[in-house]
Amino acid sequence: MPIARPAEPVALDGVELRVLHVPLVSPFTTSFGTETVREVIVVRVLTAGGDGWGEIVTQADPLYSSEYTQGAWDVAQRFLIPALLERRTVAAEDVAGILAPFIGHRMVKAGLELAVLDAGLRAQGRSLGEYLGAERDRVPSGVSVGIQKTPEALVEAVAGYLDEGYVRIKIKIKPGRDIHDTAAVRDAFGATPLQVDANSAYTLADAAVLAELDRFDLLLIEQPLQEDDLVDHAALSRMLRTPVCLDESIVSLKAARDALALGSASVVNIKAGRVGGYLEAVAIHDLCRDAGIPVWCGGMLETGIGRAANAALAALPGFTLPGDVSASSRFYARDIVTEPAVLEAGHVRVPTGPGLGVEIDPVALDDVTVQRVEIRR
Ligand code: SMG
Ligand code: MG
């Protein structure tokens, strides 16, 4: 459903940006690299009525997408924040339109929009979940497991997450670390809901290898081909029994519409950062729901800020598959919010307090801040 009641417009006095380096509890390896520290940008909008918080989910290097920390840092200060400050009073629903003349940089736009939205909702005493149209008070929690040294080590890692209660396992794959890894997990854990994520590591020429995954009864294969391979994804979809899910390719409502029209995906991963904001994410949810396409909420190793917002988004009715909405402890020993998301019987609670429904821990935030700037009007 489209947003029923707008958030309160906020009078912007300034915007603070911080680059954080948050240590991970264990290295996270995908087809494109290994991270041991989450580099991420936190946004604070300063308004007469109080602060609002957002998160820019870029990574240090442009490997998942073309966006990266220092590019985001630059474009935010040089173009996007000045465009918002020029308006002074901004409604969250207008942020995307104000920033639309600047091409791309969707993760930056999403982080700014979320901060404005948080401030506006806190002023109204409304939760983000209520605003977005959440229909559940908790959401089932899946976990994304990185590539390990060996398939045996992967099985051990998965066993640990299943013991914690995660209801769905996603493993990362890449050429050479696909069939054996998936077989090992499937053999060890029988009927556990299982899916794989290639992060664009294959081409259509690899279709025969990818078809071997069909025997593992996977929920889906996520983003096997490149971001702009909508036509090849459609061709691959016709060659596999495993449902193809798109992540990187779905950069907007328009891209989602194109992908559905072409038959490039039968499942969609929705990430607010990748599509330019939580409002665009809701629009994609609505499109997919009308088309009978299941969606689930992706993750970008968010801090407590984005993690709270993702839980709210994942509580919308079209999110019929468990998302990468895990407990904070999946990645972090110490989060930057006072009450980090926890796993309760395989679920994560949707915050109900005003705005994001989480409070920043200022000491924890300062401890992981490596770069800070404040832009005033
Ligand atoms: O936040 O649980 C999380 C991470 C989920 O695997 C995850 N994200 O392609 O879906 C994906 C990746 C993107 C980040 S990879 C460093
Ligand atoms: Mg993915």
**For the chain, what percent of residues have pLDDT higher than 90?**
99
Q: Please compute the mean of the pLDDT values over residues 184-192 and round it to a whole number.
A: 97
Report the pLDDT averaged over residues 62-80.
98
Give the CA angle between residues 91, 92, 93 to the nearest 5°: 90
Amino acid 252 reads: S
Q: What pLDDT does residue 3 have?
A: 82
Residue 1 has pLDDT above 80, yes or no: no
Tell which residue, 275, 372, 370, has the closest CA to residue 60.
370
Ligand 1 centroid from CA 6, angstroms: 30
Spacing, Cα 245 to ligand 2 middle (Å): 9
Mutation pick for ligand 1 pocket among 30, 61, 69, 144 (CB with most ligand atoms within 8 Å): 144
18: three-class secondary structure by DSSP: strand
Beta bridge partners of 43: 17, 54
Say how far apart CA 29 and CA 145 lie, in whole Å.
8
Q: Are 309 and 325 in contact (CB under 8 A)?
A: no
In the chain, the amino acid numbered 230 is: L
Structure tokens at 61: 């290097």
Q: Provide the β-strand partners of residue 46.
A: 14, 51
Position 207, amino acid: A
Smallest-distance ligand from the CA of 222: 2
**Per-residue b or e along 199-238, where b marks 16 or more CB atoms closer than 10 Å to that residue's CB:** bbbbebebbeebeebeebebbbbbbbbbbebbebbbebbe
Which phi and psi angles does 215 have, rounded to 5°? -75, -5
The full set of domains in the chain, from first to last, is: 10-125+360-376 (3.30.390.10), 130-349 (3.20.20.120)
How many Å apart are CA 141 and CA 76, to the nearest integer? 32
Q: What is the pLDDT of residue 226?
A: 98
Helix (H, G, I), strand (E, B) or coil at 66: coil
**Helical (H) or strand (E) element with 169:** strand 168-172
The pLDDT value given to residue 227: 98
Helices (H), 142-189: 151-164, 179-189
Best substitution site from 32, 65, 301 to test ligand 1's pocket, by max atoms within 8 Å of Cβ? Answer: 301
d(CA 100, CA 95): 8
**Positive or negative torsion for Cα 373, 271, 92, 53:** negative
Distance CA(117)–CA(5), nearest Å, equals 12
Element (H, E) at 171: strand 168-172
**What is the structure's pLDDT at 2?**
76
pTM score, whole prediction: 0.98
152 C-beta neighbours (distance < 10 Å), count? 11
DSSP code at position 46: E
Query: In whole angstroms, what is the distance from residue 347 CA to residue 333 CA?
Result: 19
> In this predicted structure, what is the pLDDT of residue 357?
98
Distances (CA, A) of 8 to 54, 114, 199: 16, 13, 38
CB of 248 closer than 6 angstroms to any ligand 1 atom: no
The response to whether residue 224 sits with its C-beta less than 6 Å from ligand 1 reads no
Note whether 143 and 326 are within 8 A (CB).
yes
pLDDT per position as a tens digit, 285-297:
999 999 999 999 9
| Residue 42 to residue 73: CA distance in whole angstroms | 10
The whole-number pLDDT of residue 88 equals 84
pLDDT, the chain, mean: 98
The answer to whether the CB of 301 is under 6 A from ligand 1 is: yes
Question: Which residue numbers are catalytic?
Answer: 172, 271
Nearest to 199 by CA among 241, 237, 235, 247: 247
